[in-house]
């Protein structure tokens, strides 16, 4: 039987054998560990909940890990760590972001507000009080992110930022905060306990100026 030849005149068996031999010779010796790249540190300043902080940390540290591991501000939760659940939501210059997807060094000079920074002088933020009054939580793990997202939602409404469900987006008019608007604008924050009815009620009550 005639031997099949591939590219360069090699048989398939000879080609595979050569490739395997090359892999073996370039592999690390048994027990050897790959060398870690040296950490590249970065200096930056953040204003967190009204207080100025200076850092010199590995440039790869996320904003979420900086808060939890270096400042012990553990109210901001690590859920999926992939930007899919919203548990790590906080406010940067008044806008909501997923802190697990953002490097801390990117926010040099920014104003960061976490769930711990919403209350003032021992008095709960109206949104915090509303979540309690309307049972907008069960286990509470997602609640800090939900509340921060809800606070930003109301600010976005005031600026006239439309959502997918906003009708007549070409018209210059105040956006009506319907339940559909609240659900759509809060859709990036998941509650595995299913406390969505209470969450919608809490956001609506604050928007309407009701006091908890």
What is d(CA 90, CA 106) in angstroms, rounded to the nearest whole number?
Answer: 15
pLDDT of residue 8: 56
- Chain centroid to CA 169: 28
**Residues 135, 188: one domain?**
yes
pLDDT of residue 169: 76
- Could you say which of 79, 100, 117 is where a domain stops? 117
pLDDT of residue 60: 96
- Could you say which of 54, 87, 117 is where a domain stops? 117
pLDDT of residue 41: 94
pLDDT tens, position by position, 30-60: 666 767 777 789 999 999 999 999 999 999 9
Looking at residue 69, which CATH number applies to its domain? 3.10.20.30
Higher model confidence: residue 171 or residue 66?
Answer: 66
**Residues 108, 123: one domain?**
no
Band the pLDDT of 24: cuts 50, 70, 90: very low
pLDDT of residue 210: 78
Asked if pLDDT for residue 11 goes beyond 60, the answer is yes
**Residues 122, 211: one domain?**
yes
Domain coverage including residue 99:
39-117
Provide the 3-class DSSP secondary structure of residue 70.
Answer: helix
The dihedral sign for the CA sequence 85, 90, 96, 101:
negative
Q: The whole model's pTM is what?
A: 0.81
On whether the CB atoms of residues 58 and 41 are closer than 8 A, the answer is yes
Asked if pLDDT for residue 22 goes beyond 60, the answer is no
**Residues 108, 81: one domain?**
yes
What is d(CA 118, CA 137) in angstroms, rounded to the nearest whole number?
Answer: 17
Looking at residue 124, which CATH number applies to its domain? 1.10.150.120
List the single range of 20-24, 60-64, 196-200 with lowest mean pLDDT.
Answer: 20-24
Residue 2 in domain: no
Q: Average of pLDDT values for 134-141?
A: 97
List the single range of 78-82, 103-107, 207-211 with lowest mean pLDDT.
Answer: 207-211
pLDDT of residue 168: 81
Q: Average of pLDDT values for 159-178?
A: 85
Instruction: Count how many domains the chain has.
Output: 2
Cα atoms in the Cβ-side hemisphere of radius 13 Å centred on 38: 3
Angle, helices 196-207 vs 126-133, to 10°: value is: 140
């Amino acid at each position: 039987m005639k031997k099949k030849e591939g590219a360069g005149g090699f048989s398939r068996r000879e080609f595979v054998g050569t490739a395997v031999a090359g892999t073996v010779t370039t592999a690390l010796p048994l027990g050897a560990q790959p060398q870690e790249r040296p950490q590249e540190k970065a200096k930056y300043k953040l204003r967190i909940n009204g207080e100025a902080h200076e850092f010199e940390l590995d440039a790869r540290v996320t904003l979420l890990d900086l808060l939890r591991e270096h400042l012990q501000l553990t109210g901001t939760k690590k859920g999926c760590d992939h930007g899919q659940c919203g548990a790590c939501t906080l406010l940067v210059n008044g806008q909501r972001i997923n802190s697990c997807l953002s490097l801390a060094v990117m926010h040099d000079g920014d104003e960061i507000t976490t769930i711990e920074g919403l209350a003032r002088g021992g008095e709960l933020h109206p949104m915090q009080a509303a979540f309690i009054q309307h049972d907008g939580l069960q286990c509470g793990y997602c609640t800090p992110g939900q509340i921060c997202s809800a606070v930003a939602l109301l600010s976005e409404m005031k600026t006239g930022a439309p959502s997918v469900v906003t009708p007549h987006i070409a018209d210059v008019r105040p956006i009506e905060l319907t339940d559909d608007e609240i659900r759509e604008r809060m859709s990036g924050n998941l509650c595995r306990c299913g406390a969505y009815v209470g969450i919608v009620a809490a956001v609506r009550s604050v928007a309407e100026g009701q006091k908890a």
